[in-house]
Amino acid sequence: MRRTRLVFGCLLSIALAGLPSAASAQPSPAEPPAVGAAAAEPAAVAATPAPPTPPAPTYPYTGYISADLVNIRSGPALYYYPLLTTIKGAPVVVEGEADNWLALRPPEGTYGLVRKGDLTIGASGDTATVSAPSARVYASSATAKRRWCVMATLKQGDTVRVHGPGEGDFVKIAPPESARVWVVDQYVAATSPTDPSLGQRPPVPIDIQPPASDPLVEASREAENGLAAELAKEIGDRNFDDVTAKFRQIAEKAEEAYLKNAARRHLARIAAEAERTAEYVRVTSLPDKLDEQLANIKTGWANRQAEAKRDEQLLKSDFIATGCLAMMESLEGVDHPVKFKLVDQNNHPLVVLQSTAYDLGKYLGKIIGVRGTKTYLKEWRIYLVAVDELEVVEE
């Protein structure tokens, strides 16, 4: 019993030695803050202010080209042809904006083209007045390759300044007040560059030649020119066989998708134009066909009238007999007073004839009607007509 108590006491001592003391188990109280010290506060996060909205531009204003070489184009898209190329820092007058393109007042080096027939040129040759109800002004320059884009439209009575004769029947004029040319908005800055020498040089037309293209590109251009030439003809004179063959060859051989698609679009247009041409030819040929049909109707009507007249003459009651005059074969070469007969369409004899008033031999083969005295010849079993009157019914 005593040994048991001793073992239990040892175990209890070991267990109590592993427990923390009361002093170490309780946390130490936090020290109070020093007098006059401010209590710690979390740092406030500053809100980022929204960027100010730029004010809407007031037109017109002067901007400056911000890239080294920038094309000024005839319209607000890349497919409009360039008029000239400006340099960095060149000033431009901005008149408006549309779809990331800026409308500019035409700079020096651009001009308009107007048809000569729409103008009345003054005696000095420096000015002209629009004489047509309206006149289109086409954007152009010394290096422009095309001239189809309308930069302004003038009214009758408007006055323009003439720069000189243009190509063909066109006259060069100064761009009117309403004329606009276009540039991509990202290439124009509202402030001038710091280099004072920039912008002092005038816009320089630069003729940038494209790199040499493959033969199918050249063939496509040739085919497009051929198509344009055919479309310029009168609709009845057009023939699309040659350009159709060229575009089909391009569509089959071209590896570039844009060439294939362009050739297919041209072929679709040619097919539509061919249908229009065929319809035009059909419609314009109708009068000729109608004239031919009318002529046939008139001829048929005249023939029927002649037949009716002949039938009327054949059916007249005062004719003793009518038929085709023929010789009596049995009496041919014989001196006999009766040598002629009238036969029907089947060559059957109707009557025999004799006449002292007519030379019946002159009427052989003709259809005639006769009047006179009719006597029955028993021995011949046919009537004999002594012809007093004779009418030719049909030659």
Residue 311 lies in a domain: no
Domain boundary among 128, 161, 177: 177
Integer CA distances (angstroms), 252 to 70, 190, 259, 262, in order: 37, 50, 10, 12
**Residue 222: pLDDT over 60:** yes
Total of domains in the chain: 4
Enumerate residues 6+ apart whose C-beta is below 8 A from 68.
87, 88
pLDDT of 204 strictly over 60: no
If asked whether residues 159 and 171 sit together in one domain, one would say: yes
Do 115 and 221 fall within a single domain? no
Task: Say yes or no: 320 and 356 in one domain.
Answer: yes
Confidence of residue 175 (pLDDT cuts 50, 70, 90): very high
Q: Residue 306: is its pLDDT beyond 80?
A: no
Torsion (CA) 167, 168, 174, 177 in degrees, nearest 10:
-130
Task: Report yes or no on 360 lying in a domain.
Answer: yes
Using the predicted structure, report yes or no on whether residue 210 has a pLDDT greater than 70: no
Domain co-membership, 219 together with 120: no
**pLDDT mean over 90-119:** 92
> Which residue would you say has higher pLDDT here, 204 or 78?
78
The rounded mean pLDDT for the chain is 79
pTM score: 0.40
Q: What is the pLDDT of residues 228-282, one digit of tens each?
A: 888 888 877 888 899 999 999 988 888 777 778 888 999 999 998 888 888 887 8
Q: Look at residue 36 in the predicted model and tell me its pLDDT.
A: 43
Name the residue range of residue 337's domain. 316-394
CATH of the domain at 187: 2.30.30.40
Report yes or no on 8 lying in a domain: no
Q: What percent of the chain is predicted at pLDDT more than 90?
A: 34
CB atoms within 10 A of CB 176: 18
Per-residue confidence (pLDDT) for residue 295, from 0 to 100? 80
- Residue 192 included in any domain: yes
For residues 192 and 84, membership in a common domain is answered with: yes
Q: What is the pLDDT of residue 182?
A: 94
Same domain, 81 and 166: no
User: What is the per-residue pLDDT across 11-25, written as a single tens digit (0 to 9) for each?
Assistant: 445 444 444 443 444
